[in-house]
Structure 1
Amino acid sequence: MESTRMKRQVLLVGFMILGAALLAGAASLVFWHPDVLAAEAGHAAGVALDPSVMRWGFISAALATGLGSLGAAYAVGSVGTAAMGALAEKPELFGRVIILVGLAEGIAIYGLIVSVLILNRLG
Structure 2
Amino acid sequence: MLLGQPASAEFTPVAYEWHYGDGTSRMTTTPGATWTRLGLEEFDRTQTSHAYANKGSYTVTLITHYSVRAAYASDGEWWPVPGTLAIASAPHTVQVVSVNTVLVDKDCTEDPSGPGC
Q: TM-score when scaled to structure 2?
A: 0.22
**Higher share of residues assigned helix:** 1
**Higher share of residues assigned strand:** 2
Q: TM-score when scaled to structure 1?
A: 0.21
